[in-house]
Chains A and B, each alone.
Chain A
Amino acid sequence: MRRQEVAFTVTDVIAPARIETEEERPQLELPPQIPGHGSGEGHAGGHERHGPTGILKWLTSTDHKVIGLSYMITSLVMFYLAGIMALLIRLQLSSPHSSLLTFGQYNQLFTMHGSLMLYLFAGPFAFGGLANFIVPLQIGAPDMAFPRLNALSYWLYLTGSITMLIGFFVAGGAASFGWVAYAPLSSATSSPGAGGDLWIMAIALTGFSAIFTGVNLVGTIFYLRAPGMTMFRMPIFTWNMLVTAILILIAFPVLTSAMVMLFCDRHFGTHIFTAVGCHLVNGAATASCGSPLLWQNLFWFFGHPEVYILALPFFGIVTEVFPVFSRKPVFGYKGMVFATMAIAALSTGVWAHHMFTTGAVLLPFFSFLSLLIAVPTGIKFFNWIGTLWHGQLQFTAAMLFSIGFLFAFLMGGVTGIMLASPPIDFAVHDTYFVVAHFHQVLFGTAVFAGFAGVYYWYPKMFGRMLRESLGKWHFWLMFVGFWVTFMPQYVVGLLGMPRRVASYPSNLGWQSYNVVSTVGSFLIALSFLLLLVNFVVSWRNPIPAGDNPWDAHTLEWFTTSPPPHHNYTHLPPIRSERPTWDYNHPDALTVPHGKAAHPKKERVPVA
């Protein structure tokens, strides 16, 4: 921690670290003078002369940090709920004809497990939680561009989550048609009951929540960067969030429209997706015949960008963690940026690879684009390895989780390439092979990389450290549990076990694989308990973190932990993608992106 002290001393000498009086208050962010209201903000000490307190403060807060934390905590609750559902599923499958759950309950459980994980955890945690908290800090902004819209996004997300969960308490139970709600199974005839309607409404609410967050992110990143923070000096996490935000704007409106149409089919007598006693012409809907294929097209046009909306923020997290714990800059920064754009662009064009087995889609078009996504993903992989290469690697919990992500995503990505080939997909579609594939990629990103982000940014958010030793136990338990859970699923999928089944024949030899998988899932659950223990212990016996415990590179590490109201009281010069590193390590400057060199004397220009 020697270097941290050096930087601290420099800060003390060049500029005062704390602002106490009006006169010393930096001009950097002078809030507008409102008649009748004091200009109470901008103090580093956070002297709140006005403003609500207690629960009302939480209900009315528009501070991106508060909203981000609310998102993260709510989404982690959803994560644990969905995890319990997963354990129930695995228990059911550990014997071929288990009577633990009825078929109906089982269908509800896997539907809600998938829906909670994908709609209510992974996305909101990433773009509602982490991005909300971190992006304004990383670009030197005081807040998000539209703070009240930000708050609205959170309330829509929370109410959406509650709406979906209410399904468990209505007659007929929660939605049970899979997280993809294929028509006509999701029609009123096949799935009557309020559970399905609540599910649709929940997605409408959380969909709008996401869209508003997308707008907010684009606005913030385009308009609120600090001076000198050009687009190509933004951290890769912020770049990934920008691309994610645009993907959100591309994908979620399609989902919301599809949900509206589905609701109309269920309740207003339309036949947009249901073909009853009629025949489609070339698979297209006509005035007299709805098309289940149309549902799939609409859903997957959202669904595939959705999984990249889920993945890209987490790619961004590991791209923050690797440089810090290798003590080197990101390798191939521009390559990373262009690869991310390419992934986003391509991912919007591959939706029908989820429909290869319909026999109704253009196989070569979609398989080519799907195979092609491997290229920018590969570029990112090699850039991550290049970042580690010749570095001085330190295996903190965040770094371990990021490396675990690499292993998980490597294999998940390779199996994805296999699935991109229609003939192979015909053989394994809707089997446990696919289940194993997407769990590897989603778990690798949302869970491994997500926890890397938690361990990495927790000090910045709370001013205290998470216990590293518990973090390492957490990682290793989860890592072992992960492989034990999902590798048998590949095998049993190749043997022919379909997905979404509550029971299976006992004479095919599938049980042993399922049992192993269930054991693994409980290992994973144990590791999540360790995380909770870590939270409690670190809160009860705090170890203060300081501004920059990791000697990290990006702008958010320049301010205090936690950051003050409106984030910054002073800023370093921004000449590269590592302003904090450059400030702390003037002997190992980053080559600036753009022509301007590092200023020689200027250290902390307080306006």
Chain B
Amino acid sequence: MKIEALFLLFLGVFFGVVGIVYWFWSYEDGGGMMLLGTSLLGFLPGSYYWFWHRRMGHRLEDRDDASIAEGAGVINSFPGSSIWPFVLGMGAFLTVLALVFGMWLIFLGVPLILTALTGVTVESRRGGHV
């Protein structure tokens, strides 16, 4: 995780410096805030990854001498065949159309969203299709 962490920390530092220079040179609020936000976007996950790198050391994909055979076994759970992303997408679609064409569409959109969120949670617990 080291390189990943360093990359993000580099972004944090870079935008920190650029942000400080920009702020004290221009006193422009919008850009200043956005650069600060970007710096945090680097520091937050970057420090998280750095912490985990220190704690767990090299994973198989960090070791340059790892063999494929060492990676045998369960990699992860990859949910397959789920209707809920589609339902959630349709719910979001109808909800934004509600904001444009009339709030009555909300009564179609929001239930779809809620159903999908419930469905996806239950599916994760139960396992669903693989």
Contacts and interface: CB of A to CB of B under 8 A. Distances in A.
A61 B68 CA distance: 28
Given A37-B127, A198-B100, A142 B78 contact: yes
Contact of A301 (B4, B7, B30, B65): B30
Contacts of B60: 227-228
Interface string B81-123: 1111110111011001101110000000000000000001000
Contact of A152 (B34, B74, B88, B101): B88
Contact of A575 (B14, B28, B64, B76): B64
A41 B128 CA distance: 13
Interface string A572-594: 11110000000000000000111
A542 interface: no
Interface residues on B, range: 35 or more
A361 B64 CA distance: 48
Contacts of A98: none
B81 to A, nearest CB: 5
A605 B69 contact: yes
B68 A28 contact: yes
Interface stretch (A218-226, A419-427, A442-450, A499-507): A218-226
Contacts of A602: 67
A159 B90 contact: yes
Nearest to A604: B68
Contacts of B8: 246
B18 interface: yes
Contact of A230 (B64, B101, B127, B130): B64
A571 B68 contact: yes
Given A50-B129, A246-B11, A596-B65, A30 B74 contact: yes
Interface in A46-67: 50-52, 57, 59-63
Interface in A267-306: 282-285, 294, 297-298, 301
A330 interface: no
B118 to A, nearest CB: 14
Contacts of A341: 7, 10
A181 interface: no
A163 B96 contact: yes
B85 A51 contact: no
A118 to B, nearest CB: 20
A231 B4 contact: yes
B78 A566 contact: yes
Given A59-B83, A62-B79, A297-B30, A228 B61 contact: yes
B28 A297 contact: yes
Contacts of B7: 341
Nearest to B95: A201
B72 interface: yes
B73 A155 contact: no
Nearest to B82: A148
Contacts of A231: 3-4, 62
Interface stretch (A319-327, A345-353, A474-482, A532-540): A345-353
B55 to A, nearest CB: 15
A72 interface: no
Given A151-B85, A201-B97, A227-B67, A32 B72 contact: no
Interface in A64-80: none
A255 to B, nearest CB: 11
A44 to B, nearest CB: 16
A283 B27 CA distance: 11
A371 to B, nearest CB: 15
A365 B67 contact: no
Interface hub of A57, A233, A605 (most chain B Cβ within 10 A):
A605
A224 B75 contact: yes
B61 A365 contact: no
Interface in A369-420: 369
A415 B49 CA distance: 40
Interface in B34-62: 34-35, 38, 41, 49, 60-62
Contacts of B49: 222
B43 to A, nearest CB: 13
Given A34-B127, A227-B66, A602-B67, A348 B29 contact: no
Contact of A227 (B27, B29, B68, B81): B68
Interface string B10-26: 11001100100110011
A249 B41 CA distance: 8
B100 A28 contact: no
A512 interface: no
Q: Which A-B residue pairs are the 7 nearest by beta carbons?
A: A155-B89, A594-B64, A607-B72, A596-B65, A151-B85, A159-B93, A227-B66
Given A205-B92, A222-B49, 5 more contacts: A41-B80, A62-B82, A225-B61, A246-B11, A365-B25
13 contacts: A31-B78, A34-B127, A142-B78, A143-B78, A148-B85, A151-B85, A152-B88, A159-B90, A284-B28, A297-B28, A566-B78, A574-B68, A607-B73
